[in-house]
Each structure stands twice: as structure tokens, then as C-alpha cells.
Amino acid sequence: MAKQLLALGNTVIVTGRNKEKMNQAKEQYPKLHTYSVEVTDIDSIQDLYEQVTRDFPTLNVLINNAGMMNAIKFQTAKAKGIADEVNTNLAGPILMTQIFLPHLLQQKEAAILNVNSGIAYFAFDKAPIYSASKLGLHSYTQSLRKQLKKTPVKVFELAPPRTSKPMFSGTEEDNASVDRVPEVPISEVVRKMIDGIKKNRETIVPGMSKLLKLVGKIQL
């Protein structure tokens, strides 16, 4: 995503917890700017907000991309792992938005893009907390869009299908069933994301995610 956004001439800031990974990204793409943040920690987001808005006063796009997916069996799962997943996938984007919103509202044009998942549309029992937190993110994104309707901040949602960087890792049997779902190259998902934004499409649902959305409607 950063690579394609840079190629379009944008100033791109990437964030994460792992400095080594960010340094590697910067080595590969020297124009990238990198900052540390823990999206589940309000103080860490506040620090990021202060640094980034000081260094880039015209920052006008927030992409909430951090996410994690755990294969969970409720009989054996640990509460801490469940809390981390809800906090990263749902509380993280909500808190990031809340803290960056005053700055975005001051810009002439701005956007928030929440990276969701095709799995948001139906109950995927092999990764149930991922599925539930992404459905929550979908609902939050819709409310946010309604509340910001008369402001300069547009709200987009990307629901990628299974990509060439699979997130799921469970039992051999569970993996085999997930492996039947075709993978889409991330570069293609990002191209569709950029195209969707250019066309002002609020919800961008590439490839197989459209089918998941349909299955979800039948399931619910």
C-alpha cells in the first residue's frame, strides 16, 4: 500500500510497533516516514498524534490498517489473547480515529480508510474474534460516515479478500479448508483500493469478498 501510494507522489507515513521492520521498509523506500505506535494504547496514540501533526501539519489521510487474526477454540482460548485481538482490530481504529479526527476536520479535504475484511460479513467460526471485531469495525465505519457526512472528512472502507499474505494459521484441517479459498495479490487489492477512492466509492469490496458479503446476507 505504501509503495503504490508513494508512486502516486504522496507523502507516506507508516507506523507499527516493530522498529526493525520499519527500518527495513525505510531502507527499501527511503521516502517513507516511520513512527512507532501501539494502537491499543491511548497514550501511545496521543504521542504519535503530537509528533506526526507537528512534523506534517497538512496530514489529511488516516489509514487504519493494523490488525491481527487468531485461530481460536473457545474451550482452550486465553482471555488475554481475545482481548488483544478485539483491542487491535476494533478499539485500535476507533481510538486512532478519535484522536486524529480534530486534525482531519481542520483540513480542506480529508479521508479515513478503515481496512476491514471480507470476513466482516459473516461469522467465520475458525477465527471468531477476528470475524466479530471486523463486523464491529464495519458497523463503526458506517456510523462514523453518517456522523461526518457534512464535514470535509470522507470515510472509506476496504474489505480485502484472502490475499497473497494469508493471516490465518490454525489446525491442519482448518488450514486445509481455508487454503481452498483463492489468494489475491496484495498489489491488486491496493490497486482496487486506490481506484475505489478515486471513484469516491465508500465501500471497496474486491474479488471474493463480494461473494462473502452475499454468503453473509444468507447466513444472517
Task: Give me the residues that bind ligand NAP (CB under 6 A), please.
Answer: 16-18, 21, 37-40, 65-68, 88, 115, 117, 160, 162-163, 165-167
Do 67 and 17 touch, CB atoms closer than 8 A? no
- Give the relative orientation of helices 92-105 and 128-147 as an angle to the nearest 10 degrees: 20
- Give the relative orientation of helices 79-86 and 128-147 as an angle to the nearest 10 degrees: 30
Q: Quick one: 43 exposed, middle or buried, by C-beta within 10 A (0-12, 13-18, 19+)?
A: exposed
Report the SS3 class of residue 128: helix
- Shortest distance, position 47 Cβ to ligand NAP, whole Å: 13
- Shortest distance, position 20 Cβ to ligand NAP, whole Å: 9
Report the SS3 class of residue 156: strand
Nearest residue to the partner ligand NAP, using Cβ: 67
- Shortest distance, position 78 Cβ to ligand NAP, whole Å: 17
- Minimum CB distance to ligand NAP smaller for 97 or for 117: 117
* C-alpha distance across the termini of the chain, in Å: 32
Distance CA 188, CA 66 (A): 19
- Shortest distance, position 77 Cβ to ligand NAP, whole Å: 18
- Minimum CB distance to ligand NAP smaller for 40 or for 153: 40
- Minimum CB distance to ligand NAP smaller for 102 or for 166: 166
Choose, from 29, 35, 130, 140, the residue flagged as catalytic.
130
Confirm whether 130 is a catalytic residue.
Answer: yes
Active site residues: 130
